[in-house]
A and B are shown apart, each in its own frame.
Chain A
Amino acid sequence: MRSDKKPVQLISPEGLRVDGRRPDELRPTRIEVGILKNADGSALIEQGKNKIIVAVYGPRELHPKHLALPDRAIVRCRYHMVPFSVPERKSPAPTRREIELSKVIREALEPAIILEAFPRTTIDIFIEVLQADGGTRTASITAASVALADAGIPMRDLVTAVAVGKVNGTLVLDLNHLEDQYGEADMPVAMMPSLGQITLLQADGILTIDEFKKALELAMKGIKQLYEIQKVALKEKYKPLAQELKR
């Protein structure tokens, strides 16, 4: 079981973090596309100890109908943590935090989707966190945008997200639970990398203006790496089809 106790040192004298990473290193990340047969699009992301499943349905008819917009589709998003995702059992009922994260994730994804193509419909995104170790909102965004692309929904760009923060005075990339809990600052960033536009920027803690600029640069560096992982994962799904066609 995971220990939630504050470690003696978050950054070792050699400059390594609690899990042995360098400050500018991402956790090992794996994305798998199309893991759910029933959903129109789906993805699984494993980022360090995080494990999240995303299912996308739609665009589909919207019920209740009064929610429909005449000129575009709406996006509905549910972020949920399963009871066993954290060491202490989490009640399955949606908490204040989960409701807020659902909204935040939806607003990070909406700018990328061409909603005007599907008036009066809905796109439903379901995010289930199976195991949480800090940075689940960013991992959810990364996986959800891949699932949306897998569903064949037109998008201006993929959305990629990562958190940056300050731990013991050092700027670090992709915070885990301990660094999030005991660090001085935490700043999740979501971007459309090809367009160079930011769709989510939150910050908790204190950063100087100079630190903020450096942190944002660090985030962009991480996002670039994650963006490649997303693309490879998407192409991986269609490899068997491409190979079969070559026969």
Chain B
Amino acid sequence: MPIFFRSGSIVTPGDIIAEGSYKAGTGISRSDNKFMALYMGIVKIDPDGTINVIPFKNIYIPKVGDIVVGKIRDVGVTSWLVDINSPYPGVLLISEALSKPIDVTKIDLRDYLDIGDVIVAKVIEFDLLRDPMLTIKESRLGKVTQGLLLEFQPSLVYTVLEKRLKLIELIKKKIKCDIIVGKNGRVVILGAQEKLNQLIRILTMIFQDFSPGSTIRIKSYIERL
């Protein structure tokens, strides 16, 4: 059962990572017993023999329950179209944005959300046949009126996030600020005016640095904040 690429090495599409009885994780195509990379990215082999490729760049496909950071792209008669950094545009209906029904013949939807506004939303419906439906009718969701918007590769955000969520919590505890991480790769920082530059550097490391020992390094950076 040979492994041709160890964890942490860079592969290109078509590279045969391993042969034999392993498990195919994400970013892997399998033909017979060969495990091949689908993306340009970094190999990650789990202790149980699951082979993954974390792509350097990939495309965000919405999933029900994902928190995403979107930008209003278009205002319709009864809905908004939202750019969620994906090939599929998000749809936000009035009923999912406002608590009371309104008379669309009298009220302009632009009064609530206008083109270019940034929102934090949740995906409530998506099946690849229809565009993803969003909602902002939950706590912590809704329009973002201040703060800083950062954009990362979606792949890095959702593969790395699970383990590094604690680091973000640590930052929040260390300095008074709020960090909203959208699964579509967009991150909103609220507050922390004086330490923005350091914070951007740390977040960049959290989402892009997976070299050995990086977690410890990031932690020490956070402590120095």
Which residues of A pack against B, CB within 8 Å?
58-61, 70, 112, 114, 117-121, 149-158, 192-195, 230-231, 234-235, 238, 241-242, 245-246
- Are A152 and B58 closer than 8 Å at their CB atoms? yes
Given A152-B58, A153-B59, A238-B40; A230-B31 close (CB under 8 Å): no
Q: What are the residues of chain A within 8 A of B61 when measuring CB–CB?
A: 117-118
Q: What are the residues of chain A within 8 A of B12 when measuring CB–CB?
A: 149, 158, 230-231, 234-235
Q: How far is the CB of B55 from chain A (nearest CB, A)?
A: 6
Given A121-B87, A235-B10; A156-B128 close (CB under 8 Å): no
Q: How far is the CB of B102 from chain A (nearest CB, A)?
A: 28
Which 9 A-B residue pairs are closest in the complex by CB-CB distance?
A157-B14, A152-B57, A194-B14, A155-B13, A154-B38, A152-B58, A121-B87, A59-B87, A231-B12
Q: How far is the CA of A61 from the CA of B84 in the complex (A)?
A: 12
- Are B59 and A152 closer than 8 Å at their CB atoms? yes
- Are A234 and B14 closer than 8 Å at their CB atoms? no
Contact of B14 among A114, A158, A242 (CB under 8 A): A158
Q: What are the residues of chain B within 8 A of A152 when measuring CB–CB?
A: 39-40, 55-59, 153, 155
Q: How far is the CA of A150 from the CA of B31 in the complex (A)?
A: 23
- Are A154 and B39 closer than 8 Å at their CB atoms? yes
Q: How far is the CA of A158 from the CA of B37 in the complex (A)?
A: 10
- Are B39 and A61 closer than 8 Å at their CB atoms? no
Q: How far is the CA of A121 from the CA of B60 in the complex (A)?
A: 13
- Are A245 and B13 closer than 8 Å at their CB atoms? no
- Are B59 and A114 closer than 8 Å at their CB atoms? no
Q: What are the residues of chain A within 8 A of B13 when measuring CB–CB?
A: 112, 149, 154-158
Q: How far is the CB of A65 from chain B (nearest CB, A)?
A: 11
- Are B57 and A194 closer than 8 Å at their CB atoms? no
- Are B209 and A245 closer than 8 Å at their CB atoms? yes
- Are A70 and B129 closer than 8 Å at their CB atoms? yes
> Which size class do B's interface residues fall under?
20 to 34
Contact of B59 among A59, A70, A119, A149 (CB under 8 A): A59
Which secondary structure dominates chain B's binding surface? loop
Q: How far is the CB of B174 from chain A (nearest CB, A)?
A: 23
Q: What are the residues of chain A within 8 A of B210 when measuring CB–CB?
A: 245
Q: How far is the CB of A145 from chain B (nearest CB, A)?
A: 8
Contact of A155 among B38, B88, B155 (CB under 8 A): B38
Q: How far is the CA of A235 from the CA of B128 in the complex (A)?
A: 32
Which secondary structure dominates chain A's binding surface? mixed
Q: What are the residues of chain A within 8 A of B55 when measuring CB–CB?
A: 152
Knowing that A149-B13, A195-B31 touch, tell me 14 more A-B residue pairs with CB under 8 angstroms.
A61-B88, A117-B61, A152-B40, A152-B58, A155-B13, A156-B36, A157-B14, A158-B13, A231-B12, A231-B15, A234-B40, A238-B56, A241-B208, A245-B214
Q: How far is the CA of A195 from the CA of B39 in the complex (A)?
A: 15
Interface residues of B in 1-31 (CB under 8 A from A): 10, 12-16, 27, 29, 31
Q: Which residue of A has the minimal Cβ distance to B129? A: A70
Q: What are the residues of chain B within 8 A of A155 when measuring CB–CB?
A: 13-14, 38-39
Given A59-B87, A121-B87, A150-B40; A156-B59 close (CB under 8 Å): no
Q: How far is the CB of B36 from chain A (nearest CB, A)?
A: 7
Q: How far is the CA of A196 from the CA of B27 in the complex (A)?
A: 20
| 16 A-B residue pairs with CB within 8 Å | A59-B87, A60-B87, A70-B129, A117-B61, A120-B128, A121-B88, A152-B39, A156-B14, A156-B38, A157-B36, A192-B14, A195-B31, A234-B12, A241-B208, A245-B211, A246-B211
B89 at interface by CB-CB < 8 Å? yes
- Are B59 and A118 closer than 8 Å at their CB atoms? yes
- Are A238 and B10 closer than 8 Å at their CB atoms? yes
- Are A151 and B87 closer than 8 Å at their CB atoms? no
Q: How far is the CB of A55 from chain B (nearest CB, A)?
A: 15
Q: How far is the CA of A238 from the CA of B214 in the complex (A)?
A: 18
- Are B14 and A61 closer than 8 Å at their CB atoms? no
- Are A114 and B38 closer than 8 Å at their CB atoms? yes
Q: How far is the CA of A77 from the CA of B165 in the complex (A)?
A: 41
- Are B128 and A119 closer than 8 Å at their CB atoms? yes
Q: How far is the CA of A245 from the CA of B16 in the complex (A)?
A: 25
Q: How far is the CA of A135 from the CA of B11 in the complex (A)?
A: 28
Q: How far is the CB of B217 from chain A (nearest CB, A)?
A: 10
Q: How far is the CB of A148 from chain B (nearest CB, A)?
A: 8
Q: What are the residues of chain B within 8 A of A60 when measuring CB–CB?
A: 87
Contact of A194 among B16, B39, B40, B128 (CB under 8 A): B16
